[in-house]
A and B are shown apart, each in its own frame.
Chain A
Amino acid sequence: MEIHVFSSNKKCDSWFSALDRARKYSVEFHPQGDIRAWTRKNGNGSFAYIDIQGMTEREVRTLLRYLSSAKSGSGSRTRPLLYGVIDPGGSIVDTAEIFHGGAIDYIGKAVAKGGIAPKRIERVARYAENVLELRETVLDQRTKQERRGRPPATVGGIALRAPTALLDGQKVPPPDTTGYRYSGSDWSSIEPETEYTFWIAYVNFNAPHEMAGRQSSQHTEHLVSLFQTAMMRYMEPAGGKIWMWRELEGLLLFPFDGRRNEPLLAIYRFMLNQNLVNAEELDQAVPISFHFAVDIGNTTYRQSGQTGTIISDSVNFIFHLGKKVVPERDLTVTGNVFHLLPERMLPLARAAGKFEGRHLYEIAVPSPA
């Protein structure tokens, strides 16, 4: 176990010397002021001890407030920072207060003088595990309660019009990944005539009724070309390619490595920015809307333009879904995609029934109010 000690006190080394001798622990000393920089890059499972000697009362208060909201780890694996306070001067009057703020140990004058024994750290580690477990249980219960009874009133700062009961992610059937043949995180290892699992997105460019019959085919072609250019500015950074295109609809393909959800986020951003695309890139006074159906499925890969004879259940399914089921302006995903939604997007998902045996979910996208 790694223990990081932040202190400018030379005596501090001797307090931790017993731990250093025990092979179970590695003790690293840092200058007192480095704690903030360290918390940003430290991993899970490290302990930090912070010596508050020499700090003013105000500095101590600010530091404790910071520590109580600091996290360790990165991405979705963050958890509260595990830290103890070294107070050889006995400047903290109410020691319980630091535990209320989330500390897991307090080393006062007497303990420091006697040195920190490995047994103490074992005790502290057990205590920390219990506290974290308790906290996670409480949070989990609170989240479940919220999901059952009180869905959030806002998502991303925008009020939900009519909050619906949240989907319980646990109850959404997990995708059957047994047939998956991951295509990777980019196109580098994808070979033609080979079957892979891809993100497959159907897009339909909904020409407004006002336009029908009034515009020349040349104008429509020009508009489609502008639309494709605008769309690919969003999709290309996520690895997207236009794979098939026919008149006003097409299929996009993105490599899939089993984890990445950038394609879904790129599509969501594009849907969100529909009005900007219309105003800025299509220059349409009568807005053109578009809708997407998104799935993760298998298909043999061939270059765009050579796809005429491809026989794929996933390709057929997504075409049918996009053409027959998804309403204008909507984003609908399958159960294979649902599990890759970021947690804060879950309140945006609503069950939309089944189609050809697969569960569907509509993802709400805010639009100009």
Chain B
Amino acid sequence: MRVRTKVRNLCIRALTESLDVNTMVHIIRRMFQNYDINERTGFPESIPIPSQNAARQIVEDCVGAGRFLEFVGLLIEVDRNGVMGRAYRVRGLSNVIEEVVEMGYLFDPERRVFVENTVQQRTKNWGLLREGDEYLFTFLRMDIVGNSNLVRTYAGDAIARTYSDLRSIVQRVVESRNGRIWSWEGDGGVCAFHGAGASNPAMLCAMEILHEIYLYNLLDCTLMEPVMMRLAVHNGRCEYHEVFEDIKSDALRKLADIESRFTDSNSVTISKTAHSTLDAPVAAYLRGFQPDSRNSLYRYSLGFSR
């Protein structure tokens, strides 16, 4: 990620004018546990390090490690909650935030991180995740039921149009809740939602996709039969890689298993671990079931009451 000189300088000034060197070191060690300011700046321990040198070194190290946004998030945290019970006001922080917003990011106060401003840009890693690092994700996987049969029955153009419509539905719904499509292979794909509270948006997306497919079948589908999907939700830690095929993850394997083995047509299945993190108003619509002695799952589907 490219960080402009202007915003770096604003950040250095904010640090210099607000915190002493010891506090700066204390803060930066929340990100880099063994951070040694003397080693980084080259100043021997016997000589006090000028604030500006320490601030510049810290900012450059954060930029170099691709964690500048995380550091600004940390400064916001310090400004709001202080450090070890003592209040600190980080002067000029609003100028730094303005510049970061101009770079195309917004601060998410709930998760306390900067996320992409999706009006300006939308990348697979939310402009935040680093290649090879491990994060907690909630995944949503979907598959069009009876794909081979549909392809055999209908003209290629009709199928291509229908599948493209379905992908548009998925994309609109998923991106409206800050999820990302990580993989799409014509008849289905995998979407990712990042962070600890991500099971809720993932499950809500799955529910809405099911609703939208019902409406699509009623109003727009040009095939002679309704199209149906199987959707599954599961969460777990996994390494982030830009290329989806490079991601090796037990969570994704289990997700595929839940989708293909335990999910009925036109329904969503969610794993127990993902279900346990759902808010009560979302979980209220799911029904538990036990397909075998090792799996305990929950299901969402639509039906007519009459």
Contact = CB atoms under 8 A, between A and B. Distances in A.
B218 interface: yes
Interface string A158-169: 111110000000
B47 interface: no
A283 B281 CA distance: 6
A156 interface: yes
Interface string A107-133: 000000000000000000000000000
Nearest to A163: B304
A157 B214 contact: yes
Contacts of A275: 207, 285
A40 interface: yes
Contacts of B306: 161-162, 350, 364
Interface in A27-68: 36, 39-40, 62, 65-66
B154 interface: yes
Contacts of B213: 157
A287 B219 contact: no
Contact of B304 (A278, A344, A366): A366
Contacts of A284: 281
B155 A369 contact: no
A67 to B, nearest CB: 8
A interface: dominant SS? mixed
Contacts of A62: 156
A158 B281 contact: no
Contacts of A364: 304-306
Nearest to B205: A276
A285 interface: yes
Given A40-B157, A162-B306, A344-B219, A285 B281 contact: yes
A345 B217 CA distance: 10
A279 B282 contact: yes
B211 A276 contact: yes
Contact of A342 (B207, B218, B222, B303): B218
B219 A342 contact: yes
B231 to A, nearest CB: 13
A279 B215 contact: no
Nearest to B282: A279
A103 B282 CA distance: 53
A69 to B, nearest CB: 5
Instruction: Bin chain A's interface residue count.
Output: 35 or more
Interface in A264-294: 265, 268-269, 272-273, 275-276, 278-280, 283-285, 287
A154 interface: yes
Contacts of A226: none
Residue of A36, A62, A157 with highest tally of chain B CB at under 10 A: A157
B226 to A, nearest CB: 3
B232 to A, nearest CB: 17
Contact of B217 (A40, A156, A160, A280): A156
B303 A158 contact: yes
Nearest to B299: A369
Contacts of B228: 157
A367 B218 contact: no
B119 interface: no
Nearest to B211: A272
B263 interface: no
A155 interface: yes
B155 A156 contact: no
Contacts of A279: 204, 279, 281-282, 284-285
A70 interface: yes
Contacts of B279: 279, 283
Contacts of A276: 204, 207-208, 211
Contacts of B287: 369
A340 B301 CA distance: 28
B196 interface: no
B280 interface: yes
B61 to A, nearest CB: 40
Contacts of B302: 158, 366-369
B303 A367 contact: yes
Given A265-B219, A279-B281, A280-B204, A158 B304 contact: yes
B204 A66 contact: no
Interface string B262-305: 00011000000000000111101101000000000000111111
A156 B208 contact: no
B219 A158 contact: no
A18 B226 CA distance: 46
Interface in A325-350: 342, 344-345, 350
B155 A69 contact: yes
B158 interface: yes
B198 to A, nearest CB: 14
B90 interface: no
A154 B226 contact: yes
Interface string B186-214: 00000000000000000010011001011
A158 to B, nearest CB: 6
A159 B214 contact: no
A48 to B, nearest CB: 15
Nearest to B302: A366
A366 B282 contact: no
B227 interface: yes
Contact of B284 (A265, A272, A280, A287): A287
Interface in A220-275: 265, 268-269, 272-273, 275
Interface of B: 154-158, 204, 207-208, 211, 213-215, 217-219, 222, 226-228, 265-266, 279-282, 284-285, 287, 300-306
Interface of A: 36, 39-40, 62, 65-66, 69-71, 154-162, 265, 268-269, 272-273, 275-276, 278-280, 283-285, 287, 342, 344-345, 350, 364, 366-369
7 contacts: A157-B265, A279-B281, A280-B204, A280-B281, A280-B282, A287-B284, A368-B300
Given A40-B157, A284-B281, A368-B285, 7 more contacts: A71-B222, A155-B218, A161-B303, A287-B284, A366-B302, A368-B300, A368-B303
5 cross-chain pairs, A with B, having the tightest CB-CB distances, nearest first: A369-B303, A157-B226, A156-B217, A66-B155, A366-B302
